[in-house]
Structure 1
């Protein structure tokens, strides 16, 4: 998500002979229903320069009593926190992962590890080819999910399929000594390797004789890359704006062979957070996809239609597609990624992609009904309603001053009819959130919000000059004319354009600009409520949390501006004023917001919201920005004026963190928060230290630090086994910013900490010699496996 290159489903075919997801689900049908009854469903998402005094404060282990499990109104549906906060990792940051006493952390999977038949071992000098990488674990792991096989008495805690996003690449580390910087030395071989490193890794994992490992020759092992055939479905599929040039993609290059039909695409990349469905498929979210496009000097958009050219150029501006991109330079060797000569290709990205993890022959499906933006996550909730088990997915658009969305499926979910569920994501209503300042009577710092449907008949906030407002179907972006004032196109065409230009639609209806909305998480309960049973009540509300990572373009420090309602604002270029939902200017450390749906129904169009926590540094040495004047703060927000935040920890400052990103509730009601900042414990982070994963009590808001990370990395992606006794956590881009000439300049993790993975296999072998702990081996993004020494539940 941050990173040097990042500013801050399937068809019913199964020729492989493997069990399909339908067959797997049917096998575990009875045990799964029993798990649902007991509130332990396998489907639960488990996806999250100070002075001496200051250093002493943050260096001490917090001596706090265990937070009890549910035993009263103050701890409803909560499994308790049974560990003490571990110390912050201050400069110089050690290249290791730490967890509390009584826990064990090991390495499960790492970049370049073989995951399917025919895959070669990883080369420490990074000389593997694109063909090699297509059979190896990808780079920069991110969101993930564990899909259990059926066990003897329910879903297995010792064997499963893991789907793991591979978000992006550090090109200097990926390509060995050659590097790939600033367009220098760009070749199709390097571009293909980079494309093969992106996407999703699907691996089989097993616990054998007490040790977890990746099944190297698993028939389920699969890589989905930037070149994997995929299809589009839903209301926008087949639209003219999705009919890009068609290419024959070969190892040595891409050759134009015609025009796509608007229903097909190739690949997925910049896959950040994730989700999964109650019918057992994986959702991967395309986030910073714009950065992989670019164009050469002199290239222009010329589709042969002036209106289409204008639409494309507007979309490039609104979605941040630029000539240089993020300096991947794929377009230099692969014309498919030239955003000027193949401009419609950009419209094939920015979607939620559904994948069947149990069928390697299935095609990923881009579900257009869920909207097109920089998708960060897609977490589902099911609520029992008079109209059936209704399903919604909650999503953030990860860019400064973008929006929060939800998608409500048109049809109810039927757990007894698998076939009927397979296309639920193709029809429904996409909503965008407006967080209002209307206070809720009797609740402190709690306010009303509304979900605005992005449909043709929805009123915009754009005046029609006659005392009213245009409907979306009357706006030039969506009516097929480029000019406001007429409903020229039929509603199917309008809806397709709304979904392709989701940001412009959200601009037009006056949605609330947020401080980089990233992961969402549905609150769970350990007493049988929530998605364990699809039941909610006032004591167990349908409550969704969202990380707002940061925003250096909020309030003060420049002229105030908002996303223009005509949809022409450049991505991330506005500077809106502070508001109740985003109360701090220059929001360096970020915050977490939450909302509760009216009537505890996913179909609600209203909600209550409050801020769960303002992240910060209790003993900050940061120079306060000029924008941090009391007069610039929102009256009544209850936030305090400075960077300290209001994290609830004991002792004060013992769990400080900033830049919240990953977010996930385990099945026992614990909220896990992961962070994404510089990770070197310098500058603004001198007291907070390296990136972390914390655990929070959603009732009292108490937070404890559980994990600290190596230097220059992000902690992202988390899931556990159905019994909660094994946790998987991602460490992304350790040692980032190291040059190609010295890839270990900032880190040699994980070799700095281990010479073998959790299965006992050597991490790095050179000339037949296994390399020891501490060897000078380039850093590798990896997935950890965490257990307790006593075999208990993680966090309890």
Structure 2
């Protein structure tokens, strides 16, 4: 039967993972656990927070990362060199996590993704013409930042320099591990063994392992590859290759020309594991988790102590996945535990979800030789199953979803929530029809679907599911919006999801810059962050961002008194960055007065209390 709207039995495994990741302080109980005053929907070009709260800009694009001897300041005219950008904050901050140092809530590592670049803002003369120097700077502006931060009487500050500070970017050496390592489809002229790759980019949502490593997800990698008069193969087309590239690296860097190097794109679209505590360690692409437009790598423990990782594939009509490790997790989150679990993500089973109309669902294994995935269907090995995970999921009959993005596990109930951000093509001529899990044609508003694993065990093959939210403005005729509580604040296009240690769900939105404040989105204001109590169904708007931005990335300190949020691409009016910015946040007051800069913001109560209460 469909997942009931009730408090589920506590999942001890999920609670254990949350404790390992750092958030441990309980919130006060009560009928309304959302004690803040909701902020109104607004189109203000500012960060709006509730009364009694303050928002501090902490780490904007171009800030020094804190690597000793390499701390160039941000140049407002974008004249920083590619070498500068390699040791500065990247563009378009996304998923992140706070990792305490020495168990402290006041000092730790903040690790975050940098998803993509706005070439118009990145270079003094804009995107055209593309040059080798511009391509190098652009590759350096993506990837991951590791910074050290500390709470001072004046607020949160970076520790400069820091022995932990690090930038991992589009040219950092990275090892390829797991079943696809060394596969013929991973070999290139520059890497005949298929075991090393230059860089990670298009880094979106993330995860954190129980042993304290960071998982960054490579999402829209396809937009950086191209070729003159390209005719993509069916396998390349299935991953979006062949459309016009957002950034035409291929004109100046041959490895991005997929006519000359067709295997290079196979080396992207993976989950990459990083040890933030060891700046000398090499990141690793974990191919056992499958290749896709990777969104989220949310970790939880199975009842017998293995690791389950939930993942979305953020494209229209793509799938929800789960990886279950073969071996058990060695307990701890120190250096010894990281060493003991070093290879744990290289062996296990990747599954894809089927959501049935009766509210039940099944996890379908993607294993070579099973379920029709074999040589007859075009898969010569398990490596090829993982490299072409989308095609394998097609064969087993998984459910095509409305852009699955972030996934979060409720520590109080064990219920798993996935953001389905939107899919305007659903039910259109020639496109997949509506179904129980994706019930709206022309779905522009998105929603949040949730499930509970059978027996409360993340290793189960079956689950029960329902919709937590069908988002949108209920006042718009035909919106199909449905909220769990009549007093819920309306929103559109949910993207980021994060449960805190008390089981409150933080929801972040990503309406397109071209749609914000217009048409059916007119009453929803700028993109925002809301807080939901799954028990009561109450949802309150907590934060609204500046013009054109996406709100993404959510992390709290262990005492839940500081909340870190990323403001991505403020001023963006078109997805390709070609429009004139409609914001100058955080440095200017009017559009055009300063280059808008993505930035990490820290939100605190002025009285030092727990955020959200």
Aligned to 1:759: none
Aligned to 2:10: none
Q: Which residue pairs with 1:510 in the alignment?
A: 397
**2:262 counterpart of 1:343:** yes
Change (3 A) 1:645 1:206: same
SS in 2 for 1:475: helix
Partner of 2:379: 478
- Give the equivalent residue in structure 2 for 1:83: 36
Give 1 or 2 for the bigger CA radius of gyration.
1
TM-score w.r.t. length of structure 2: 0.92
Alignment of 1:8-23 (within 5 A): none
Note closer, same or farther for the CA distance 1:671–1:141 as it changes in structure 2 (3 Å cut). same
Distance 2:63 2:109 in 1: 16
Does residue 179 of the first structure (1) align with residue 179 of the second (2)? Answer: no
Matched positions, count? 590
Whole-Å separation in 1 of the counterparts to 2:453 and 2:509: 27
Corresponding residue of 1:293: 225
User: What is the distance in 1 between the residues matched to 2:456 and 2:344?
Assistant: 21
Tell me the residue number matched to 1:284.
216
Alignment of 1:317 with 2:317, yes or no, is: no
1:553-564 alignment, distance < 5 Å: 553-555=425-427, 557-559=428-430
Confirm or deny: 8 A CA contact 2:17 2:210 kept in the other structure: no
C-alpha distance in structure 2 between counterparts of 1:315 and 1:424, whole Å: 29
Query: Is residue 572–residue 581 contact of structure 2 (8 Å, CA) maintained in 1?
Result: no
Residue 262 of structure 1 is matched in structure 2 by 194
Distance 1:519 1:262, change over 3 A: same
Partner of 1:465: none
Match of 2:470 among 582, 589, 614: 614
How far apart, CA to CA, are the structure 1 residues paired with 2:80 and 2:45?
25
Deviations 1:448-492, CA, capped at 9 Å, x for gaps: 100000012322xxxxxxxxxxx312433213xxxxxxxxxxxxx
Superposition map of 1:456-471 within 5 A:
456-459=368-371, 471=372
Give per-residue Cα distances to partners, 1:347-384, cap 9 Å, x unaligned.
10010000000111111100000000011000011133
d(CA) in 1 for partners of 2:271, 2:301: 19
Q: Deviation of residue 691 (structure 1)?
A: 0.4
CA–CA separation in structure 2 for the residues paired with 1:161 and 1:787 = 18
Instruction: Report the secondary structure of 1:354's partner residue.
Output: strand
Q: Does 1:41 align with 2:14?
A: no
Contact 2:306 2:327 in 1 (8 A): yes
Q: 1:236 to 1:95 in 2, by over 3 A?
A: same
Which residue does 2:115 correspond to in 1? 167
The aligned counterpart of 1:428 is 348
Residues 1:407 and 2:323 are matched in the alignment: yes
- Measured against aligned partners, the alpha-carbon deviations of 1:238-257 in whole angstroms (never above 9, x if no partner) come to 101000120xxxxxxxxxxx
Structure 2 alignment gaps of length 5 or more: 1-13
| 1:131 has 2:131 as partner | no
Partner of 1:95: 45
Match of 1:587 in 2: 443
Kindly indicate whether the alpha-carbon contact (under 8 Å) linking 2:119 and 2:577 is maintained by their aligned counterparts in 1: no
Contact 2:583-2:591 within 8 A present in 1 as well: no
1:181-200 matched pairs, under 5 angstroms? 184-200=128-144
- Give the aligned partner of residue 602 of structure 2: 785
RMSD value, Cα: 2.3
Residue in 1 that maps onto 2:9: none
Q: Is the 8 A contact 1:130 1:192 kept in 2?
A: yes
Partner of 1:375: 294
Tell me how far apart the structure 2 counterparts of residues 739 and 552 of structure 1 sit (CA, whole Å). 16
Query: Within 1, Cα distance between the matches of 2:17 and 2:134?
Result: 48
Q: Is the 8 A contact 1:454 1:498 kept in 2?
A: yes
Report the CA distance between 1:95 and its aligned residue. Answer: 1.2
Separation in 2, partners of 1:739, 1:370: 28
2:489 is equivalent to residue 655 of structure 1 = yes
* SS of match in other structure, 1:504: helix
Gaps of 5+ in 1: 1-35, 47-67, 247-258, 301-311, 439-446, 460-470, 480-493, 526-539, 560-574, 625-641, 754-772
Aligned-partner Cα distance in 1 for 2:600–2:290: 30
Deviations 1:159-201 (A, max 9, x none): 111111000011101112x111xxx411111111111101111
Q: Distance in 1 between matches of 2:368 and 2:23?
A: 33
Q: Deviating runs (4+, > 6 A) in structure 1?
A: 36-40, 738-744
Equivalent-residue separation in structure 1 for 2:15 and 2:531 (angstroms): 26
Secondary structure of the residue aligned to 2:566 is strand
The aligned runs of 1:623-772 (5 Å cut-off) are 642-648=478-484, 651=487, 655-679=489-513, 680-737=516-573, 745-752=581-588
CA distance in 1, matches of 2:210, 2:574: 41
SS in 1 for 2:21: coil
Displacement of 1:435 in angstroms is 0.3
For 1:148, the equivalent position in structure 2 comes to 100
3-state SS in 2 of match to 1:226: coil
**In the alignment, is the contact (CA less than 8 A) between 1:672 and 1:696 conserved in 2?**
yes
Say if 1:619 and 1:644, in contact at 8 Å, map to a contact too: no
8 Å Cα contact 1:718/1:729 also seen in 2: yes
User: Shift of the alpha carbon at 1:84?
Assistant: 2.3
Question: How far apart in 1 are the matches of 2:375 and 2:557?
Answer: 50
CA distance in 2, matches of 1:343, 1:41: 43
Contact 2:492 2:509 in 1 (8 A): yes
Q: Is the 1:245–1:345 contact (alpha carbons within 8 Å) kept by the matching residues of 2?
A: no
Superposition pairs of residues 64-83 of structure 1, within 5 angstroms: 69-70=28-29, 80-83=33-36
Output the CA distance in 1 between the equivalents of 2:534 and 2:41: 22
Q: Provide the residue aligned with 2:11 in structure 1.
A: none
Counterpart for residue 576 of structure 1: 432
1:360 alignment partner in structure 2: 279
Q: Measure how far apart 1:646 and its partner are.
A: 1.4
Contact 1:738 1:746 in 2 (8 A): no
Question: 2:306 aligned to 369, 390, 408, which one?
Answer: 390
| Deviation of the 1:323 alpha carbon | 5.4
CA distance in 2, matches of 1:107, 1:610: 38
